[in-house]
């Protein structure tokens, strides 16, 4: 299966390298939704996310000949380009001496105050590393794409630390139902995360190489 996909990706990249615009747009239709969803979730800025995806496909158009299917899928390759550009953008924003937050809310006194998480986004204060934020964006995108019942059991297990039997009690469901939902949810996660490079390790914070 992976070999077949590798061949298909290799053929597609060769066509793009030869100037085939239909192949180029096929690569867009195959992967842009996931790329955009992850980058959008990371940057929280539609305009910036669209720019990153556009730059990613510009790179594909200009450098398709450099793609090597044996090093990973085309999606993995594109995902790495988008990731690097998105993280570069966040680093550049964090270096700016004065950065204006565009998402603000009313303070308790009726006045207007920047939100704490906005300041973290901008890099003004210590927050999670960019690599961790990338990983979180990927995982949240994958979870967002799940059916609600599968998403629910996963969030209860990971964010609230509940065991399978505790989840069953909380949701008033048979334990077998909870297990089968969790199993399906984890399988979906595994499929999606398997194509994403440079995810962060939950224990020590090191990047895990995405090539398989």
**Binders in 110-169 for another protein, by CB under 8 A:** 110-115, 117-118, 121, 128, 132-133, 135-136, 138-141, 143-144, 151, 154-155, 157-159, 161, 163-164
CB of residue 111 to another protein, shortest distance in Å: 2
> For the chain, how far is it from start to end, CA to CA, in angstroms?
13
Q: Which is nearer to another protein, 22 or 172 (CB)?
A: 22
CB of residue 172 to another protein, shortest distance in Å: 19
Per-residue tokens: 134 = 């990338």
Query: What CA–CA distance (Å, rounded) separates 187 from 178?
Result: 14
Residues numbered 9 to 48 that lie near another protein (CB under 8 A) are: 14-15, 17-21, 24-25, 28, 32-33, 36-37, 40-41, 44-48
Q: With binding defined as CB under 8 A, does residue 195 bind another protein?
A: no
Query: What CA–CA distance (Å, rounded) separates 168 from 162?
Result: 9
CB of residue 171 to another protein, shortest distance in Å: 15
CB of residue 140 to another protein, shortest distance in Å: 4
Residues numbered 42 to 81 that lie near another protein (CB under 8 A) are: 44-48, 50-51, 53-54, 57-58, 61-66
CB of residue 43 to another protein, shortest distance in Å: 9
Question: How many chain residues touch another protein (CB under 8 A)?
Answer: 88
Long-range contacts, 12-17 (Cβ 8 Å, 24+): 12/74, 13/64, 13/65, 13/67, 13/69, 13/74, 14/64, 14/65, 16/60, 16/61, 16/64, 17/64, 17/65
Residues numbered 81 to 110 that lie near another protein (CB under 8 A) are: 97-98, 100-107, 109-110
- Write the DSSP string, 114-183: E-HHHHHHHTSS--S-HHHHHHHHHHHHHHHTS-HHHHHHHHHHHTS---HHHHHHHHT--HHHHHHHHH
């Amino acid at each position: 299966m992976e070999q077949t996909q590798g061949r298909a990706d290799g053929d597609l990249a060769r066509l793009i390298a030869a100037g085939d615009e239909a192949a180029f747009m096929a690569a867009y239709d195959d992967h842009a939704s996931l790329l955009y969803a992850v980058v959008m979730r990371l940057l929280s800025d539609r305009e910036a996310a669209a720019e990153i995806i556009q730059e990613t496909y510009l790179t594909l158009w200009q450098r398709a000949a450099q793609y090597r299917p044996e090093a990973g899928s085309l999606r993995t390759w594109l995902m790495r380009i988008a990731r690097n550009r998105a993280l570069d953008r966040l680093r550049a924003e964090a270096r700016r001496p004065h950065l204006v937050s565009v998402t603000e809310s009313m303070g308790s006194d009726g006045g207007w105050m920047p939100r704490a998480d906005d300041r973290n986004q901008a890099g003004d204060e210590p927050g999670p590393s960019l690599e961790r934020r990338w990983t979180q964006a990927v995982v949240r995108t994958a979870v967002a794409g799940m059916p609600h019942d599968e998403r629910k059991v996963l969030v209860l297990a990971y964010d609230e630390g509940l065991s399978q039997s505790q989840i069953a009690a909380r949701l008033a469901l048979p334990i077998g139902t909870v297990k089968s939902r969790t199993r399906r949810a984890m399988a979906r996660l595994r499929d999606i995360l398997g194509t994403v490079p440079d995810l962060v390790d939950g224990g020590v914070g090191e990047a895990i190489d995405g090539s398989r």
